[in-house]
C-alpha cells in the first residue's frame, strides 16, 4: 500500500475503497444536499394537490430511469443495466404507491416526508433481514437512500449538478450518487467521484468501473470538510482523497500520476509474454471474473483465459432473480471476448455471505458458511439451478467453456450435478437449441472432505480447481468474514500447504488438471510455492496477473521446487513464511514491496 507522503497533513487525507487505478488532480464540486423537509398539510385540498405532485414526480423518475438505462454504452453488461430496473421495480411496487398516498391523504404530511418514511421502512426491512456484515445488503440500503435523493430532487425540481458540465477537470464529492446521476454527468470534464456511501460492490461503483471513471467509495466524513472550487487529489489505486493539497503534495501526486500511467503502459506491454519459468515450465495465468465488464481488463492484463467466473455476483445486485435470457447474454459475451482462451464458469455459489434479496427466506441465518451454500443450494432448488444451467449450456457454443461446481464435499454431489447438466443439455437439444458437444466439468476443491476424496473424485471430474479461500476457512475452522480471527487466517499453515500438495499429486497421478483460484494464487509468496508444488494453472484478480507472470518468468522451476519442499517441511506458518519471504527478498524484492 502506498501511503500519502508524511508532509501531507493527516487531517487532509480521507480513505475509502478505490475503483480503478488512476490519480486525478482536479477541482472539487460538492453539490448542495437536498434536505427532506417535513410539513403538515392544512386540509384535504392541500393533500390532494400534494398527491398530484407526488404522482408527477414518480412519473418523471420512471421516465428518467428508463432514459438513463438506454443511454448506457452498449458495451455495459446487460446485467449492470438492471440497476435501473431495480429502481423501477421499487417505484412500481403497489406498497410504495399506497403507503405514500395514505401518508399524504390520511396522515396529511407532505410528499417528501411521506416518501422518506416509506423508503425508510423498506430500508429497515433490508438491513434487519440478514447478516448486517454482508456488503451487498449495505449496498441495497444505499440504493434506497439514493432513490430517496432522486425523489427529493424530482419533487423540488432542483438539480444537483450543472447541466452544462464543469469548466475544469472536476472531482465530484457527494454523500450519495445515484447510478442515474452518474450516467447523466457530462463526461468530458469529469475527473472522478468521491462518495461517502457505497462500497466496491455498490451499483454506482460497478457502473463507474464499467464506464472507466476513477472513484473512491465509502469515504466517511468528507462532504462536510470539502468545498466546491478547492483543489483535490483522488488516488483511486490506493483509495485516498486529499483535500486542499499544497504545492508539495500536488508535485508528489503529479509524479505518481505519471508513474502509474507509465506502469500501466509497461504492464500492458509485458502482460502478453507467456509465464514460462527460466527453465521452460509453462504456467497458465488466468483471471477471476466477478462482473462481465471486467473481461476486457483480464484480456489486456495478459490473462490466459478466465479461471473462475463467479456467476453468483450478478444475482446479488438485484431484487429479482435474473432470467435465462439475461444470463445467457452475459455468459455469451464473456465467452466471445475470451475466445479461443478458456472460460471456467462456476455454477452458483450462493449462500454464506452471498444471499440474493429475492431468496432471503431460503437460507437460515445461523452458521451460514456451514449451511445451504453453492452446490447444496442448487441441488435443493433445482428450479433456480436449471435456469442457470440452461443459460450456461446455450452459451457453450460461443467459446471454450468449462463448467465448475463449487463446494463439493462428496461423490453424490458431483453425480447429481452432472446428471442435471446432462438432463438440461438433452432438454435444450430437444427444443432445437445448440449445446457444445463436450463441455469439461470439474469441481472446486475447497472443503477438506474433497481433499481426502480427491482420488475418487478425479474419476468423475475433468479438472480440479483449489479454492484456497474456503479451504483455509473450512480446514482451520475460521469464518473468513470474521475480523476477530483474521490473524489466524494463515495461507502458509502447514496443513493447508500439505492439503494443496495432496491434491496436486493426485492430479498428476490421475491426469486431472489442477488449477488454483483462491487468494493464494495472487500473492507472490504463496504462488511461488504453488508453482513449486506442481500447479500449472493459476487464476487471480486481473490487476495481479502481470506481477505473478513476471515472478514466474524470472524464476527457475528447480528453485521453486526446492523452496516448496522446504516450506512443506515447516511445522508452523511462521517458519514457512520466513523461508519463502527470505527467498523472495533475495530474488525479487520489488515483488514483495509491490
Ligand atoms: C475460494 O474459496 O478460494 C474461491 C476461489 O471461491 P470464493 O472466494 O468465491 O469462495
Ligand atoms: Mg470458495
Task: For residue 60, tell me if it sits in a domain.
Answer: yes
pLDDT tens-digit map of 513-546: 999 998 899 899 999 999 999 999 999 988 789 8
310 in ligand 1 pocket by Cβ < 6 Å? yes
Residue 338 falls inside a structural domain: yes
**DSSP assignment, residue 354?**
B
Does any domain span residue 5? no
CATH of residue 108: 1.10.274.10
Query: Both 392 and 477 in a single domain?
Result: yes
Per-residue pLDDT at 131: 47
- The cell numbers describing 84, all together, are 435501473
Ligand 1 atom 5: residue of nearest CA: 518
Q: How far is CA 489 from CA 50, 267, 573, in A?
A: 56, 31, 10
Residues lying with their CB under 5 A of ligand 2, a single-atom ion: 446, 467, 470
**Ligand 1 within 6 A of 517 CB?**
yes
Measure the CA–CA gap between 453 and 279, rounded to whole angstroms: 33
Mean pLDDT of 240-251: 94
Q: Are residues 248 and 281 in the same domain?
A: no
| Local confidence band at 313 (pLDDT 50, 70, 90 cut-offs) | confident
Q: Give 267-270's long-range contacts (Cβ < 8 A, gap of 24+).
A: 267/301, 267/302, 267/546, 268/300, 268/301, 270/302, 270/546, 270/549, 270/550
Q: Counting Cβ atoms within 10 Å, is residue 44 exposed (0-12), middle (13-18) or buried (19+)?
A: exposed
Residue with cell 500447479: 535
> Is 349's C-beta closer than 6 angstroms to any atom of ligand 1?
yes
Q: Is residue 546 part of a domain?
A: yes
pLDDT above 80: residue 465: yes
Predicted confidence band of residue 133 (pLDDT cuts 50, 70, 90): very low
Torsion of CA 522, 523, 526, 530, to 10 degrees: 20
Residue 351, ligand 1, Cβ within 6 A: no
* Probe residue for ligand 1, chosen from 344, 376, 444, 481 as the CB with the greatest number of ligand atoms within 8 Å: 444
483 and 528 together in one domain: yes
Beta strands in 262-377 (DSSP E): 275-276, 282-289, 306-310, 342-346
Residues 296 and 417 in one domain: yes
Q: What is the largest CA-CA distance in the chain?
A: 86
Query: Are 218 and 249 part of one and the same domain?
Result: yes
Q: Which of 163-167, 227-231, 321-325, 570-574 has the lowest average pLDDT?
A: 163-167
Of the residues 156, 182, 203, the one at which a domain ends:
156
Task: Give the end of a domain, one of 217, 240, 264.
Answer: 264
Nearest 5°: the CA angle 238, 239, 240 is 95
Distance CA 224, CA 237 (A): 24
pLDDT at position 202 is 67
**pLDDT tens digits for 331-386?**
999 999 999 999 999 999 998 877 776 676 777 777 888 999 999 999 999 999 99
In a domain, 38, yes or no: no
Q: Catalytic: 203? A: yes
Same domain (yes/no): 378, 524? yes
Counting the structural domains of the chain, the total is 3
> What mean pLDDT do residues 418-424 have?
98
Confidence class for position 20, pLDDT limits 50, 70, 90:
confident
User: Are residue 169 and residue 305 in the same domain, yes or no?
Assistant: no
For residues 469 and 370, state if they share a domain. Answer: yes
Beta-strand ranges (E) seen in 249-388 are 275-276, 282-289, 306-310, 342-346
Does 121 share its domain with 178? no
Are residues 200 and 247 part of one domain? yes
Q: What is the phi-psi region of residue 33: left when phi exceeds 0, alpha when psi lies from -120 to 50, beta otherwise?
A: beta
> Is residue 521 located within the same domain as residue 556?
yes
- Give pTM, 2 decimals: 0.72
Of 3-17, 33-47, 275-289, 310-324, the poorest mean pLDDT is in 310-324
Range of the domain at 117: 44-156
Residue 477 has pLDDT above 80, yes or no: yes
Both 103 and 212 in one domain: the answer is: no
* Domain final residue pick, 156, 188, 219: 156
Question: 588: which DSSP letter?
Answer: -
Amino acid at each position: 500500500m502506498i501511503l500519502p507522503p508524511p508532509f501531507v497533513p493527516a487531517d487532509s487525507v480521507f480513505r475509502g475503497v478505490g475503483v480503478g487505478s488512476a490519480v486525478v488532480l482536479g477541482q472539487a464540486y460538492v453539490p448542495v444536499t437536498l434536505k427532506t423537509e417535513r410539513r403538515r398539510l392544512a386540509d384535504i385540498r392541500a393533500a390532494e394537490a400534494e398527491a398530484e405532485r407526488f404522482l408527477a414526480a414518480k412519473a418523471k423518475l420512471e421516465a428518467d430511469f428508463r432514459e438513463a438505462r438506454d443511454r448506457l454504452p452498449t458495451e455495459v453488461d446487460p446485467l449492470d443495466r438492471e440497476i435501473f430496473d431495480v429502481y423501477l421495480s421499487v417505484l412500481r411496487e403497489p406498497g410504495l404507491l399506497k403507503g405514500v398516498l395514505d401518508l399524504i391523504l390520511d396522515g396529511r404530511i407532505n410528499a417528501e416526508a411521506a416518501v422518506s418514511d416509506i423508503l425508510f421502512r423498506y430500508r429497515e426491512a433490508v438491513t434487519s433481514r440478514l447478516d448486517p456484515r454482508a456488503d451487498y445488503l449495505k449496498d441495497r440500503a444505499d440504493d434506497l437512500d439514493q432513490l430517496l435523493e432522486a425523489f427529493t430532487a424530482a419533487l423540488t425540481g432542483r438539480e444537483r449538478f450543472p447541466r452544462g458540465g464543469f469548466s475544469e477537470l472536476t472531482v465530484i464529492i457527494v454523500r450519495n450518487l445515484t447510478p442515474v446521476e452518474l450516467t447523466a454527468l457530462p463526461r468530458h470534464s469529469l475527473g472522478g467521484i468521491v462518495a461517502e456511501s457505497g462500497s466496491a460492490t455498490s451499483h454506482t461503483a460497478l457502473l463507474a468501473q464499467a464506464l472507466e471513471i476513477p472513484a473512491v467509495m465509502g469515504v466517511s466524513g468528507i462532504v462536510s470538510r470539502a468545498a466546491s472550487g478547492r483543489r483535490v487529489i483522488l488516488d483511486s489505486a490506493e483509495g485516498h482523497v486529499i483535500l486542499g493539497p499544497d504545492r508539495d503534495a500536488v508535485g508528489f501526486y503529479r509524479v505518481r500520476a505519471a508513474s502509474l500511467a507509465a506502469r500501466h503502459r509497461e504492464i500492458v506491454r509485458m502482460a502478453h509474454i507467456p509465464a514460462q519459468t527460466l527453465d521452460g515450465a509453462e504456467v497458465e495465468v488466468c483471471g477471476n471474473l466477478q462482473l462481465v465488464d471486467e473481461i476486457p481488463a483480464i484480456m489486456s492484463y495478459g490473462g490466459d483465459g478466465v479461471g473462475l467466473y463467479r456467476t453468483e455476483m450478478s444475482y446479488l445486485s438485484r431484487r429479482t432473480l435474473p432470467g435465462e435470457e439475461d444470463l445467457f447474454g452475459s455468459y455469451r459475451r464473456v465467452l466471445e471476448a475470451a475466445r479461443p482462451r478458456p472460460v471456467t464458469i462456476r455454477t452458483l455459489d450462493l449462500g454464506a455471505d452471498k444471499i440474493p434479496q429475492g431468496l432471503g427466506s431460503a437460507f437460515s441465518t445461523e452458521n451460514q458458511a456451514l449451511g445451504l451454500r453453492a452446490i447444496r443450494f442448487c441441488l435443493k432448488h433445482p428450479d433456480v439451478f436449471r435456469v442457470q444451467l440452461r443459460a450456461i449450456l446455450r452459451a457453450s457454443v460461443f467459446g471454450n467453456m468449462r463448467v465448475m461446481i463449487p463446494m463439493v464435499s462428496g461423490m453424490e454431489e458431483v453425480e447429481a450435478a452432472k446428471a442435471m447438466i446432462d438432463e438440461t443439455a438433452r432438454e435444450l437439444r430437444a427444443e432445437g437449441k445448440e449445446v457444445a458437444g463436450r463441455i469439461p466439468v470439474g469441481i472446486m476443491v475447497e472443503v477438506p472432505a474433497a481433499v481426502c476424496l480427491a482420488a475418487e473424485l478425479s474419476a468423475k471430474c475433468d479438472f480440479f480447481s483449489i479454492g484456497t479461500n474456503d479451504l483455509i476457512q473450512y480446514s482451520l475452522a475460521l469464518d473468513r468474514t470474521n475480523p476477530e480471527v483474521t490473524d489466524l487466517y494463515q495461507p502458509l499453515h502447514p496443513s493447508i500447504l500439505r492439503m494443496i500438495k495432496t491434491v496436486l499429486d493426485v492430479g498428476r497421478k490421475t491426469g486431472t488438471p489442477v488449477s488454483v483460484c483462491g487468494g493464494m494464487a495472487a500473492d507472490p509468496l504463496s504462488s511461488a510455492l504453488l508453482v513449486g508444488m506442481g500447479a500449472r494453472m493459476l487464476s487471480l484478480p486481473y490487476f495481479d496477473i502481470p506481477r505473478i507472470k513476471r515472478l514466474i518468468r524470472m524464476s527457475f522451476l528447480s528453485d521453486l521446487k526446492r523452496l516448496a519442499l522446504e516450506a512443506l517441511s515447516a511445522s508452523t506458518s511462521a517458519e514457512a513464511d520466513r523461508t519463502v519471504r527470505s527467498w523472495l527478498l533475495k530474488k525479487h524484492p520489488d515483488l514483495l514491496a509491490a
